[in-house]
Amino acid sequence: MEQSWNYEKIQNHASSSTSIARQRRPTSGPDRSEWKDVGKVREMVNPLVVGFGLGFAIAWLLSLQRLQQRQFHFPLHFLVVGDWGRNGFYNQSVVASQMGQVGTMLGISFVISTGDNFYNTGLAGVDDIQFTTSFTNIYTSPSLQTRWYAVLGNHDYMGDVLSQMDPYIQLRDDRWICQREYHLQYSLCTDSMKEGCKMHVDFFFIDTTPFVDDYWAASQTHTFDWRGLASREEQLRNQLQSLNDKLETSTANWKVVVGHHTIRSMGYHGDTPELVKNLLPILKKHRVDLYVNGHDHTLQHIKDQDSGVHFVTSGGGSKAWDGVRSSENTEGVLFAYDGQGFAAISMGPHELLLSFHDGLGNTIYTAHLHKSRH
């Protein structure tokens, strides 16, 4: 049966006058993108707490109340973060701490990583200490001790790309799941629903780095580890055909595709032409609901005006402030935030709640999506 969208009013907590929000650098003091640990962040935050402690407390309590209400209303909750692995620097540890708090409030089932998992050049091998210093020792909150479903980003291809997919990595930390492409299914049934409920969401994880022409160019100065791939033409053809076939047979209430690179973006990198040409038509054809990505170090929500595909960028896991292209095509742009943070998504059979949280834990944006069947 055909599906139709009813898009509810957006709540833009970061800016009431525009859908494009920037977290500006301080006019004095250290550049926030250079904060190296939690201590320095606290040094910057404490004066604000002294002056505006009551306001922060009220805002935090309201945010807590909203999150707790979501726990009972939706059967599935998860977080999305990307572009993070920097040994805790550039506020990675701070974002991780806030992820832990939101994850606890929601009772999340898993975390999605949208790629560029380890900077600047991926992992050097399966024994690389950065897997511990950028992942295991950073995401320590109890709520984050759950499955992490990851895709590969371009920076991951600049190291030993096979190491992130090696079964040995799971022996080091059994949360970690990463493959070039894979498919997951999660139930959206609740205890109160009738026995035999088949409502569910399908997640399709894909590898977008081989699509980008520039990475294959003779003038490219970085070295990419293309081991394990077929010829480029065959690799792309097979991956697109595989995704098309899986979407063709999916009976899910929601269809979510996860990749690293943007399709639509107001960030530094902007749109990815190769994905607009090759991937977007498949998403439109099969009425995919969400395309979730990283690459741009921002938080964004853009809706395709032709098909209703929603593009969700969550690439603010550590270093950010690359800029937002306010002069670019703003068609369908509902929110764009130039700063650090992550996304939380709660799902029910016919509704979805997306929220963005900044590096200090503030809920800066929410969107409530409804889907009905005719």
pLDDT of residue 196: 82
User: Is 245 assigned to a binding site?
Assistant: no
Could you count the other beta carbons within 10 Å of the beta carbon of residue 55? Answer: 11
For the stretch 75-97, what's the b/e string if a residue is b when 16 or more beta carbons lie within 10 angstroms of its beta carbon?
bbbbbbbbbbbbbbebbbbbbbb
Q: What is the CATH number of domain 3-373?
A: 3.60.21.10
Query: Residue 83 annotated as binding?
Result: yes
Question: Known binder of ligand: residue 260?
Answer: yes
Q: Where are the domains of the chain?
A: 3-373
* pLDDT the model gives residue 90: 97
Closest CA to 111 of 153, 72, 144: 144
Please tell me the distance from the alpha carbon of residue 355 to that of residue 98, in angstroms, as a whole number.
13
Rounded CA separation 15/166 (Å): 43
Query: What pLDDT was estimated at residue 323?
Result: 83
- Residues in Cβ contact with 225 at an 8 Å cutoff, skipping those fewer than 6 apart: 122, 157, 158, 159, 160, 161, 162
**pTM for this one?**
0.86
- Amino acid occupying residue 50: V
pLDDT at 328: 67
**Is 173 annotated as contributing to ligand binding?**
no
117 is in an annotated binding site: no
d(CA 124, CA 143): 29
Q: What is the structure's pLDDT at 359?
A: 93
Query: pLDDT tens digits for 149-169?
Result: 999 999 999 999 999 999 999
Question: In this predicted structure, what is the pLDDT of residue 193?
Answer: 79
Among residues 267, 323, 315, which one has the least CA distance to residue 23? Answer: 323
Cα separation of 169 and 177, whole Å?
A: 9
Q: Has 297 been labeled as part of a binding site?
A: yes
Confidence at residue 28, expressed as pLDDT on a 0 to 100 scale: 34
- Of 13, 155, 200, 269, which is the active-site residue? 269
Q: List beta partners, residue 21.
A: 337
Instruction: With a cut of 70, list the residues of the chain below it in pLDDT.
Output: 1-65, 67-68, 71-72, 327-328, 372-374
* DSSP codes of every residue in 291-323: EEE-SSSSEEEEE-TTT-PEEEEE--SSS----
Please check if 295 is assigned to a binding site.
Answer: yes
DSSP sequence for 230-253: --HHHHHHHHHHHHHHHHHH---S
Q: What is the DSSP letter of 138?
A: T
* Catalytic residue list contains 77: no
The C-alpha atoms of residue 95 and residue 30 are separated, in whole angstroms, by 18
User: Which amino acid appears at position 40 of this protein?
Assistant: K
